A and B are shown apart, each in its own frame.
Chain A
Amino acid sequence: MNIVVCVKQVPDTWAEKRLSDQDKTVDRNGVDGVMNELDEYAVEEALRIKEAQGDGEVTVLTMGPDKSVETIRKALSMGADKAVHLVDAGLHGSDALATSYALAKALGTIEHDLVILGVESTDARMSVLPAMLAERLGASQLTFARKVEVGSGTVKIERQTDTGYDVVEASTPAVVSVVEKINEPRYPSFKGIMAAKKKPLTTLSLSDAGIEADKVGMAGSGTEVAEFAPRPPKQAGQIVKDEGDGGSKLAEFLASQKFI
């Protein structure tokens, strides 16, 4: 079974994120880029499926600026076999509609039975891309998986819901998105890091992937940011030291606000 894992480089989970004043996109300058934390679970899941099946290849695909190659290296160090980097200035500013189109085109250049992604990125946090990719590829959608079981030509997942889970099954090809804690992502070993340097990395431009330039980037997107501003600072609240009556004081506050 051949698997493609889509990963995204995002500003460090713990860093303060900003929008660029120039073009209102996520400011990636001056912030450390890391692999989207939820994508680490996707890479791990792909590797586990490959190891259990004993055949097939895991290809890591990313779309992003030159710097994203760091995230590709990490996935290769973890054990992915090869990588495809969709990189083109024309992609800058792509929204979900444009990104799903571009990624679907890039996926068209890689032989695969399964596409695996993290359930969302920690910067945009839309969690729509896996469903949009399934729609574009005509593949089955198996999203929000907390467990993945691969059979011969079929995949069964437990889809996390608010009240429990749904058991969902589909034939391949399928697009799977995984939730945090589905597994424990491995750390790249020294050997893995060294081996990653020799693994094949293909770079795709818009034309390489057959992407129409007017369907991506800011102009090809379906949404635009009109304006943005930092959230106004909150008025300082009342902070009280507990002198043995902290609970009662809190109850008084709740009553004054009509919560009780």
Chain B
Amino acid sequence: MAEVLVLVEHVDGAPKKVTYELLTLARSLGEPSAVFIGNGFDNAKDKLAEYGARKIYVAADAELDGFLVAPKAEVLAQIVSSSSPAAVLIPSTPEGKEIAGRLAVKTESGVITDAVGVDDGFVAKQSIFGGAINVSSKVSKGTPIITVRPNSTAPEAAPAQPTEEQVSATISDAAKGAKILDRVTEKKGGRPELTEAAIVVSGGRGLGEGKNFELIEKLADTLGAAVGASRAATDAGWYPHTNQVGQTGKTVSPQLYMAIGISGAIQHRAGMQTSKTIIAVNKDPEAPIFELVDFGIVGDLFNVVPQLTEEIEKRK
């Protein structure tokens, strides 16, 4: 079976869930090899085996973490050139996509981003224009490089005994151009990341003012959900711009999306339309968001949301 490389996304070695999703996906396409770049491999080793990696390439070098994107693309390109894989799967995160882009240039290959699935023959499924159109695309030049969105595949364990190969990467001076001086964490931990969360609760104009986002946060916390916001809400300064879901913000595709006080303009729909289950609470029965919902409540969010939060607490 053909080798399919999966780039491991991790924090200090602990793989993120999307890594297991990609390993699961890679198993359906060929023989998965994990590529681990950076420090903390001991934290990743057993997990990568559990999700079926047959081989693990390990590139641990202090320099790899000190510079932006370019060194990782260089390491990956070295592995691609020595192992000639059938394809490379990369998590569709901002950094993942940039690595994919640079790898495409280095290997003269086509790159497809934001796949929501990959079929036999490395046909990538994408959902474009805010989920309005489904597209099947193929890479026609070089090695298929495909970035896959988090939450696209349900991760399934399939324990394997991977072989390990240490990769001694030579990082060129050119790749050391952008030096990372500091990494600053602003958000307190606790809530999951918007693009990775299984449940997202978003608030919009209907909240009326910034402090009412408390209602959204409370509901989100009872569900272990991430908090999103419509553009109207972030433009008004009610919630940080980094939480904006929509065409000029983040695209999310969770199992459950709850739109609270959001009318559902195209700008917003473009960022959440592919969510598996969609719920809306809005006082306007004509709001376009109701065209997308699995379940909707026409009513005052200030009555509905606290009642819902309380009800969920009761059922826990």
Residues of chain A touching chain B, judged by Cβ–Cβ distance below 8 Å, are 13-14, 16-19, 37-38, 95-97, 100, 122-123, 125-132, 134-136, 138-144, 156, 159-171, 174, 180-181, 221-231, 234, 237-242, 244-251, 253-255, 257, 259-260
Contact = CB atoms under 8 A, between A and B. Distances in A.
A135 B300 CA distance: 52
Given A142-B178, A230-B132, A260-B312, A122 B248 contact: yes
Nearest to A36: B248
B306 A16 contact: no
Interface of B: 68-70, 73, 94, 97-102, 104-106, 108-114, 123, 127-129, 131-142, 174, 177-187, 193-195, 199, 223, 241-242, 244, 247-249, 251, 255-256, 265-267, 273, 277-279, 281, 285, 290-300, 303-312, 315-316
30 contacts: A13-B248, A19-B128, A38-B248, A97-B111, A128-B100, A128-B101, A128-B104, A128-B113, A134-B70, A135-B102, A141-B178, A156-B181, A164-B184, A168-B180, A180-B249, A222-B110, A223-B111, A224-B138, A226-B123, A230-B134, A231-B273, A240-B298, A247-B311, A248-B311, A250-B279, A250-B281, A251-B308, A254-B279, A257-B256, A257-B277
Contacts of A166: 68, 180, 182-184
A-B pairs, top 3 by smallest CB distance, nearest first, are A242-B299, A222-B110, A247-B307
B185 A231 contact: no
A167 B298 contact: no
A97 B105 contact: yes
Nearest to B314: A251
Given A126-B114, A240-B298, A247-B304, A132 B68 contact: no
Contact of A96 (B104, B135, B184, B193): B104
Contacts of A244: 303
Contacts of A228: 133-136
Contacts of B315: 251, 255, 260
Interface of A: prevailing SS? mixed
Contact of A250 (B97, B127, B297): B297
Contacts of B195: 162
Nearest to A118: B248
Nearest to A218: B140
Contact of A135 (B73, B113, B265, B296): B73
Contact of B304 (A18, A159, A246): A246
Nearest to A257: B277
A129 B102 CA distance: 9
A162 B16 CA distance: 13
A125 B199 contact: no
Given A38-B248, A95-B110, A230-B132, 10 more contacts: A143-B98, A222-B110, A223-B138, A223-B140, A239-B290, A242-B303, A246-B303, A251-B311, A254-B256, A255-B315
Contacts of A223: 110-112, 137-141
A259 B295 CA distance: 13
Given A37-B248, A254-B312, A241 B68 contact: no
B247 A221 contact: no
B98 A141 contact: yes
B94 A127 contact: yes
B242 A160 contact: yes
Nearest to B129: A17
A237 B134 CA distance: 21
B312 to A, nearest CB: 5
A132 B242 contact: no
A242 B297 contact: yes
A14 B94 contact: no
Nearest to B297: A246
Contact of A246 (B70, B127, B180, B307): B307
Contact of A225 (B136, B185, B291, B309): B136
Contacts of B184: 164-167
A122 B247 contact: yes
Contacts of A122: 247-248
A242 B179 contact: no
Contacts of A249: 297
A171 B177 CA distance: 7
Contacts of B285: 239, 241
A167 B285 CA distance: 46
B70 to A, nearest CB: 6
B212 to A, nearest CB: 16
A166 B315 CA distance: 41
Given A128-B111, A242-B304, A168 B132 contact: no
B105 to A, nearest CB: 4
Given A169-B181, A226-B123, A253-B279, A242 B298 contact: yes
A221 B111 contact: no
Contact of B135 (A95, A167, A222, A225): A225
A209 B184 CA distance: 41
A253 B69 CA distance: 44
Contacts of A138: 174
A237 B294 contact: yes
Contact of A126 (B97, B241, B273): B97
